[in-house]
Structure 1
Amino acid sequence: MMHIVGTAGHVDHGKTELIKAMTGVNTDRLPEEKKRGMTIDLGFAHFPGDDGQIIGVIDVPGHERFIRNMVAGAWSLNCALLTVAANEGWMQQSTDHTEVLAAMGIEKIIVVVTKTDLAEKTQIELVTEEAVSRVKEITGLVPEKIAVSAKTGRNIEKLKRLIIEILKSVPVNRRDFPYIYIDRVFTIKGTGTVITGSLAGNTIKKDEELIVLPQNKKIRIRGIQSYYFELEEAEPVSRVALNITGLKKEELKRGNIITSPNSAFTNEKEFISSIKYPEISGSKKAIIKNHSEVEIAAGTDHLPAIVHFIHKSKIARIILNREIPLLYNQPFLIIRHGGNTILANGRVLFKGYMEKTLRAKLPGLFSAIPGKTGDKDLFALQLKLYGYIRRNVGFTAEFPKSDYVPVGSWIFLKTKLKEVEEEIL
């Protein structure tokens, strides 16, 4: 089983130095990053786990101006290392990055108190205690904790052991299809077009034909590289570089998805979603006004959108300024348009246009569905909205059997079936 971990935390709280101490890799690759001593875009490294499997590491930027890049790095994480500098303590971006982790559904978080060589023992303990408390408040999770120093090497190996042990308890989240959000596209002389991203969902193989969304264009995998190894097949969740044929560099960009033709992703310009505001005591919430323009960050993409609330509920119709590939239950972040303030987060509850009469039913239907939904909730929603669904969409009968009736390749609510029978007769 493959895994990816990533850093989070305020600017200059030692994320890049921590990864270098863990892996020997300086993830600041851009000239501007090296000049400014600050991570701007995503950086990548890795280290070996117990079973010979490689653990990928993503370094994300800490500055508020690059919060969109934080989302681009966080969507695929199995575990997050939330860094808090011992000499500075909890800061604004500590809060923002923890909100992103909560929004992306990251359930394994380690509070890593860094730069302990610059603080006394009492200060380190106070910073650790506050950080753990803040993470609990924002995410509802109880994080692991450890104090380290990249400069002296204190507890670096212990942290790696902790990561390995935590990842053993991470459940396998496999799907019937693979998918990769593109984060980089470039060309190599003599090789051609190369894309990089985090592979999730399922395996991919050399010479396999996939599609790129939203372009809906076919590509073929000419070569696979993962952590500097040439592979015939790559497993999720892992960092991959794919040499592809079928599309040129100019036809691809960050935010595109590579997936299989039978995937559950569909190109949509609007969707129905939940809206959840950050729950932080003592802070003033920025409420999203109805019909206001915001920015949506999902996967490695971000774009303007309009939020239309449905009957003053926490359910909204989101209209995007262009089509993007969407997946049911996909998490996303809502950012102030033209700024960097995190306003809220949500999950895709229904893809595409929905008639106004059906939208009116949604607040009541969604009130019975948990915040983090599964496929069975989608089937329940579709059944209750339309009165029928196809059996071959993966329907799992976890509702009272007295409510529905299987008819051939369809499943009907009893009330809907009665209506249909009366119309026929």
Structure 2
Amino acid sequence: MVNQHFLELQGSYLFSEIAKRRSKYMEQHPDANVISLGIGDVTRGLPQAVIEAMHQAVDDMVNPSSFRGYGPEQGYSFLVDAIITGDYHRRGIELSNDEVFVSDGSKCDVGNIQEIFSQDSIVAVQDPVYPVYVDTNVMAGRAGGFDTALGRYKNIVYLDCSADNDFKPALPTERVDLIYLCYPNNPTGMTLTKDELKVWVDYAIENDCLILFDSAYEAFITEEDVPHSIYEIEGARQVAIEFRSFSKTAGFTGMRCAYTVVPKELRGRASGDNLVSINELWNRRHTTKFNGVSYVTQKGAAAIYTPEGQAQTKELIEYYMANAAMIRDGLQEVGFTVYGGVNAPYIWLKTPNNMSSWDFFDFLLKEANIVGTPGVGFGTCGDGYFRLTSFGSRENTEQAIARIKKLSF
């Protein structure tokens, strides 16, 4: 017998559907020069410091004295120490080595984390939402079936984000156990200030729930009052798990390396109202189902934290954020209502003439040979919106904006 909950999933995965539509168009128009600003994949090479460290790591694998086989599932200490010092200590945040878990991607971790929680847990997500948060809970049986009339799953609590609330959700009005938050946000590019994030931490403490905080894009933050980590907020260690990734920060989309922080203060309720350590549960799950990220990859990731790596990574981020500014400014120049692109590599735009998201996708592909991401793919609140990414090359970004400026709406 198959897992029946997989049959509750609606359609195909968003980005698979985009790839399918693009491929079909290319088959029909083989000479078209299609520019992809849809899937958030990077286009620049890895930092030189990373390349050099990985070359050295490959050489280490040649000699019996330096060869590495199975490594620690939680990550080598040289990388974990670099993460704690480089990403947390400099912001006044204390972590211990056994609170950091190196993995092969935040997508995997935000999907897998739900396994350690009860099937009865009530899950809250923002809408628009990164699809993995919803789909993995559907697979686990927490969704309660799909309501076709509403276009939503019955047992998932949706926190609506719209232009009316500046794409920042209100607190839940009903009981929830797990809250997925993503800031800087994918897909809208919006952020919370420290005061705004403190409201969520205080709510979680008062209501005995847990925040799953995806901060994969924190390196793109440019404004002072935007927190880079939820642990900058007092009390967050009691109620929050944080997910980070090297994918966009340093071009590791093809290398696969990330990490998750699970503070030891975190407790969950077991039967009989007994409190158990979330850190220990995640460690048990991690060591059972994961054999660790390769030594070569982790050596490359650790090089990000060297002075050379920091400078080269900063240059990469500035390149993509210059693209973001170009897209944002170009769209505003021709009258689009635009969000994001200031603290995140995503630009969230209102479609013209009340077009649906998929209609605008087809229009942009046909008339300008540009691929983006339909907002409705992130939830019902995303219909009528569209996401563009700044991860293309400078040449393609310039060309895409020039094409859009020539369109008639």
Q: Structure 2-normalised TM-score? A: 0.24
Bigger Rg over Cα: 1
When you count helix as a share of all residues, which structure comes out higher? Answer: 2
Query: With CA pairs under 8 Å and 6+ residues apart, which has the higher RCO, 1 or 2?
Result: 2
Q: Structure 1-normalised TM-score? A: 0.23
